[in-house]
Structures are given as structure tokens and as C-alpha cells.
Structure 1
């Protein structure tokens, strides 16, 4: 896709080619979401309001969501109201009775609303970070989200599964990252947006000009700019004293020296799960279950067995580090050993060593191995040899493609140097997104940059951006190709609605994992309802969570 010429003048440039960028492109191709009167939503208040105005580009989000906090139905209290609205229309009662109601949305092709645009991403294939794997984790680990919650409009994951595998998509299916990456790669062609989507492009030096914005890296002028580059574009680097360990060969699996894994979240767990059964692992992780628990704690054994087992290992290692107080009974130890029997065939005592709250004090690299001096939480000094390291304490995004003045307008502080651009997390733009998804005149934000990183919550921000872009494009008589002087469009003061006093914004989730419910898997296994709580999912990593990864 990257070899095709890129238009020099378009209405909108979308930076990023992950799920939210693809959803927005689908809408800007003239596919408009409408409320389907033939499939009433189970919320009678919402149904009545939408019956009066069924086009989702014309609705008042504040009015439609004002009653959510007091509703008898279960609505998310962590995601942005517009994201919650689109999610419940796409999949009514998705977390409690997913098979009871069909989708309440229908997509109508309206060519008159089509807007010229390009989607620019730096990954080798469409899909954002779903198409990228910077760590030694398997492509065949199941995502945390169910298949239907990973679907994009116009071509669902269920349709993709049927077309590529034949048969019916299994219930409660957690597709692997490989499956999701293949689905996203095929999506543009299936829905007819491929001519607007580009890969293998590094965007840079985006600045504001009279005509709108100029993307110097690709000589593009546009009126609207959409930030869909996500918060998962790069791993958080090791501190300087540990960087020599990054030079150790990753493919050193045959070495007798262990693999060092640093991290306490999903990515660390993915590396552990993916490591061959015969290879020893030293796992250094932060353990603070009261103040900052690992996101793995929210994984129930029956719904997410692989992650639950890694968390149990960490928990047992933390108990053992407490000395006699943490020693379990022989019966408990026997149960624990059985618990780990089918985890990659690895015996916990011989192949896994967990070191909670341990600090790496000294590093000495010698050839293909390194010697470490470690200090545990109780002050004990340890010496270990390793053959390679996976430093996976989290991922962040970057707006380094914006020039200093635009970066300052978005972040509030100047970006003094492009050599060290500020790292972007789910918290960075969350408070501003709550007030307005238009962060500066004609600059919109979608996907995980809004603070809601699950794909299921990507639709709302895309609908908002599409609404404003389509309105302004049709209202402005602008011909690109010369110097254009236009009056700056006014920013709606209340696009999302003020948060209800008792509802949507009582807790700011950095990535939406707090709404990754496991109710359905629990019911299907005849178990009690169990819903993941907010805090354990905070800062919980990347693709394995079904994240937007725009």
C-alpha cells in the first residue's frame, strides 16, 4: 500500500492505521451509522430518544446518556459517554445477555457524505500495534476480549472466521493475536477503503498553515487532522544501567543461563507463557497488591487460565519472600504444583524463579551472558547469570510527528526536542478528552489516546470526529490546491455532555480494561458472576487485552 502515490491535498489526514483509524475511514467513506427501529434497544428511554433522531451523526450525546447512571441496565462507568453509547448500540447487554439482543446499529452508504482522507501508519501491514511484535511473545496467545468485541463495522470478525475457516465462530472465542492481525489486514479490502490506507510510512513535521495543516514528511495539505496513533507504539526502555542487557541475543534459548523477564503485567506474562518449557526464567516484578496490584489479578482461572497461572506463580513467590510467614502448608504446595503442571510443561521449582520487588544493582556483560547483582526487598544480595532479557514494564505512545507548536497545543507543554519526545499514556489526554475530543481547532483524537483502549470503545470517538469533519466539510466551500484562508471553525463547547454527578467519570480508567467483563465465560462454566474490577486493569499492557492500539 505504501508504494501508491499519496494525494497532496485531502480534507483529512488520520495518523495511525489501527482499529480506530480504520473505523473512522469506514465512516468517512460515506458509511453512516443509524439506529435501527426494527431492533429496539432494551433500554426503553434510550429507544424512545433515538426513535426521534436515528442518525448517530445528529444525536445529542449528553441527552442520550444522561440517564445511564440510574438505569437498571449495566452501563460502563469508566469509558467516555459517547463510547459507552456506541458500544451499547452495537452490542446491547454485551456483558450480561449477549445473545438476547441483536445489534441496534445499521450502516447506510451515503456517497454524498464521503470525505477525502488518507490513513497513514508506520507498521508493515494494517492493524497498528496488532501487526507489530517487539517482544518474544507468541502470536498464538488468546486476546482478553471476545471475538465480537474485536469486530469493526462492515466486516465482522465472525464473517472473517467463516470466510477463512468455514463453519461457525465458537461461543466465547478469544481469538489469538495472529487471528486478529490477519483480520485487520484483510479488513480494508473487504469494506472498500483500501485506496485510502497506507502502511510503512513514518509521519513527521506536521504543522498548522493557513489552509489547515501541512504534513511535511509526505507533502500533504489537509483541513482536518486526526490523532489515531495510540498509546502502545513503543516499549518503555530500560534505565541506562540495564541497557547493555538489551544487546544480549534474543535467540539464546539453547543457553543454560536463564531468561530474565522484568515486568508484572500482560506482556511479561506473554513472554513467560511463550518461553520453551526447558528454559529457565528469572522473573523480577513489582509486588504491591494493595496500592498497585498486577493487572493479572483480575484474570479468573476458568476464563483466562494462562494469565491466572502466571499470577499464581508471582503470588507464591511473593509469599515465599516473606520467610516463615509466607510458607504455605504441604497441602497447599501440592495443589500449587498441580496448578502449574500444564503451564508449558514447566516445573515451577526448577524452571521459574520469581523475585518480587528486587533491584538490579550491578550488571556485567561477558560475551553472550551477563552477571547480575540483585538486592531483594528485604535487603538480601543475590548473584545470578542470565542469557537474555525481556524488559516489559509497559508501552507508551508518542506525538513526535507534530511540530513543537502543535505538540504544545495538544499536551499543554512545549516539546523542546524531538530526540526525547514526551511519552503518552492513557492518562495524558484523558481529562481533555472528557471535555472535548477536539483537542485544538480541527484536531481530533480517537482510539486509545482518549484513554479508552478496548476496541469496543473505539466507535464513539470515531463517530464524533466523523460528525464534525463531515459537517464542516459540507459547510465550507473550500477548493484545495492554492493558498486557502479560512476562518477557524468554532469548537462545540459540549460535544460529549457533562459527566453525570454520580456516573461516568467517577474513576478514570487508563485503558478501559476495567470493563473487560468475564460474566459470560463464568456463566457458560456454571460459575458465579465475576466482573473484573477497575484498579487491577490499570496500565495493563497491549494487544493481549484486546486493546485499540490505533
Structure 2
């Protein structure tokens, strides 16, 4: 990664207290997608590393054609999301494993805890000098496009005089995005703000609303909906001698929980509705060579069912089962497809059946931006409809979506998506040079 001075002005120029001067871009979200894009917009521009070999041969040939031209300035023709395999959780120019070594410990069976990952992202922001780009303790309550007619005379004058912007607003259309929200002060007060931006990037992720089963007892204290609860339980002495942990779900988060529990020798009861051979199951869609750990979980699901004992200790799978209820005595009742019920004593339950984003700050909760505008945005079934080359929303120009909102449910794809957005923004800037 090499610094490029022409990108420095994107996020670093002063803004008036009134908030009328438009920023070139506002990124909403402080996860890996937002961090990676902030990095690319702060002066770090990617070039092909000499003598490097990319696993995708077609992409390798494309990159070798113009090694002295920034990847931001190249057209990668649809291969954007494959630009970096790298470490699964890593961001550009600071491998996750290297950071763990600095902490004087290595990955446990290549597994990282949620706490590890959160600390890594915080360290990354500090290490790369991105703090100035982040406004912490900030809640966005509204994002809407406004026209010149709807803005006060003071605002219009400020918009027209913003000559230090890398973009010059089109004289015929001074539409910008108005971003409203509030800061949380040290005293706990809420201080409102209103700013304008020429482009807005949605990078909020989808973990705001975990999906609930809607069964009796799901609100009991031993029933959780986040993987971090298992990590916390391990610290509190849950282990091999404990009652089993019930894990509900057949996605990658459930697989992460199973791998973590398996490493810690914690007994697991795994309940999921689909058949193991169901082509819709995510494990049946992943290349085995690239995702060996997840295929290990899939193998466990196949070979270690309650009906057929297998080689894996401390794990039992229940395909085509669902949870009926949770009891105050920590007994869980599950039922198979034929209506046969079983009760199990468990130490805790993890319901990991997906989550939904909170897009309440967008008109109609963002539904108008989705692939199916009649249904809520969902990272797996109904992501935001974006141009695959730029990640710009097809229904709203100037609005971009990154990460799970755009259907990229792996951190390893984040770098490509952020690169696509950064490239698009740079092309817009070059159309209107200062």
C-alpha cells in the first residue's frame, strides 16, 4: 500500500458547525467494511506487489498487465470480490496473524474470538492513523436526499462556495444527502447534528437484530443469540463436565460456535431444520479446499447424528429438528419432522439463526433499495441491490452499500467491496477536477 496525496482531502477538510458544507462522502458504520473503505480514502492506494501470485489466474494476468497503475484506477471486470484471500479476518497491510503474534500468542486451531477481532479492528484504526475519520458514540437517525429548493439560503450559499471539495456539484442539480443524528456526550446527553454529503456509504452490518425462534422460554437468561455469550461462558468455567450447550442453526455463525466449543471440549447438541444434504445449506455451497474448517463441521453434522453414533466426541447433531420450548429448569424440548419430541438438560442455549439490519434511518427502512422492494432487507435472501462493479445502489445514485448489506457475508470479501467503492468515488472526483 502506497500513500497517494490526491486522496487526503476526501475526509480531512474542516466542516462548519452548522454542517451545511457538504462532505464528499460519509460512511455509516465502524465495522471492517467501513474501516477498510476509510483506509483507502485516507491516502493508502493499493498496487500489485512485485513477484506476488494471486490464486485466481485470470485476475493475476489482469493485474500484471499494468503493475505501475494503482488498482483503484484499473478496471477489474467483475473480479473485485476476489482481490484478496489473505487472512480471513484481516484488513489491508496488517495481517491478523501478525497482530496476534504481537500479542505474544497464536491462533487456537486457527480460531479467533470475537474479543480478539474487536481489539484487532480498534488497533488497526489507531495503527493506520484513521481516528480522525471516525466519530464515535454517534447515532444516525435519518438519511435522505434533499434538493436545493429544500435547503435554506444559508445552506445553498455554503454549498456553492465549497470550492475546496474534490467534487463540484452539478449546477443543474444540487441534490445532496442530509444526514441527521445525535452525539452522545460524556454526561450522557444527546447533542443533535445535521450534515450534508455528496455520497453516503452504508456499512452498518446486519447484527442489530438477531432472529428469535419465537418459542416459549426464549427470553430466559440461559438462552442467548450471540456467539460472544459462549466465549463469556467459557471464562466462567463452563467446560467438558458441564451439561451440553444447545446450538440452534445451520449457518456459518453456528459453525463458528461449534468449532469454538469443540476446541474447548464442551459437549454440544446441534439442532437445525434442514437436511444435511439440502443444497440450500451453506456448507454445500462452499469449496472444500478454501473452507476446510466449515466442511469439518458439515462432516460432523453428517456423521454424528443422534440416530447414528460417529467418531466425534461431545457432539450430537439433530437434522430436521426444531426447538419447541425452553424450561426454567434448563430443559429444552426439541421435535423432529414426524412430531416426535425429546427433552434435554442443557447448560445454555445459543440461537444462531441469522440477524437483520437496522435501517430505520432510511426511508421505508431501506426496503426500496432491496432486490425485492416488497420485502425487508436481508443479507442472505434480500440484500440491497448494488452495481457489482461499484457497489452503488441501483435505486439511489450516490448511495453505496458494503458488506452483508450488499450480500457479502464474509469479512474476506470486504476489501474488494471497499476497493470498488473507493474506485467509483475517485472516478467521480476525476470527472470534476479541482
Question: Structure 2 residue aligned with 1:81, among 69, 79, 102?
Answer: 79
Q: Which residue is 2:337 aligned to?
A: 377
Find the partner of 1:453 among 392, 398, 409. 409
Distance 1:176 1:32 in 2: 30
Deviates more, 1:430-439 or 1:459-468: 430-439
Following superposition, the deviation at residue 279 of structure 1 comes to: 7.2
In structure 2, the gaps of 5 or more residues are 1-14, 148-174, 183-193, 224-232
Q: TM-score, normalised by structure 1?
A: 0.54
Is residue 20–residue 462 contact of structure 1 (8 Å, CA) maintained in 2? yes
Distance 1:39 1:435 in 2: 24
- Is the Cα contact below 8 Å between 1:207 and 1:406 reproduced in 2? no
What do the CA deviations read for 1:436-474 (whole angstroms, capped 9, x no partner)? 521121111222333233333322322232233234346
SS for the counterpart of 2:25 is strand
Q: Report the Cα distance in structure 2 between the residues aligned to 1:268 and 1:82, rounded to whole angstroms.
A: 28
Higher mean C-alpha deviation, range 443-452 or range 37-46: 37-46
- 1:23-422 superposed matches below 5 A: 23-35=36-48, 45-47=61-63, 49-51=65-67, 54-62=69-77, 80-84=78-82, 86-87=83-84, 147=87, 149-157=88-96, 159-165=98-104, 175-210=112-147, 211-218=175-182, 219-239=194-214, 241-242=215-216, 244-249=217-222, 259-272=245-258, 281-292=268-279, 294-295=281-282, 311-318=298-305, 321=307, 336-337=310-311, 339-340=312-313, 346=314, 353-361=316-324, 363=325, 365=327, 368-369=328-329, 374-384=334-344, 388-404=348-364, 407-409=367-369, 413=373, 422=376
Q: 1:373 to 1:33 in 2, by over 3 A?
A: closer
Q: Distance in 1 between matches of 2:50 and 2:290?
A: 38
Describe the superposition over 1:77-129 as per-residue Cα deviations: whole angstroms up to 9, x where unpaired: xxx52223x33xxxxxx6xxxxxxxxxxxxxxxxxxxxxxxxxxxxxxxxxxx
Alpha-carbon shift at residue 259 of structure 1 (Å): 4.4
Q: How many residues align?
A: 358
Once residues 256 and 35 of structure 1 are traced to their aligned partners in structure 2, the CA distance between those partners, rounded to angstroms, is: 51
Q: How far apart in 2 are the matches of 1:199 and 1:230? A: 16
Q: Label 1:205 to 1:150 Cα distance change in 2 as closer, same or farther (>3 A).
A: same
CA root-mean-square deviation: 4.3
Structure 1 Cα separation of the partners of residues 380 and 322 of structure 2: 27
Is the Cα contact below 8 Å between 2:390 and 2:424 reproduced in 1? Answer: no
TM-superposed deviation, 1:206: 1.2
Does residue 19 of structure 1 match 2:32?
A: yes
| Deviations, residues 416-453 of structure 1 (Å, cap 9, x unaligned) | xxxxxx24214423764437521121111222333233
Q: Secondary structure at the match of 2:218?
A: helix
Q: 1:437 aligns with which of 381, 385, 391?
A: 391
Find the aligned partners of 1:273 and 1:175 in 2 and give their Cα distance: 11
- Give unmatched runs, 5+ long, in structure 1: 63-79, 88-93, 95-145, 322-326, 328-332, 341-345, 347-351, 416-421, 479-550
Query: Which stretch shows the higher mean deviation, 173-182 or 294-303?
Result: 294-303
- Hey, what's the Cα distance between the residues in 2 that align with 1:468 and 1:271? 37
**Counterpart Cα distance in 1 of 2:366 and 2:103:** 43
TM-score by length of structure 2 reads: 0.66
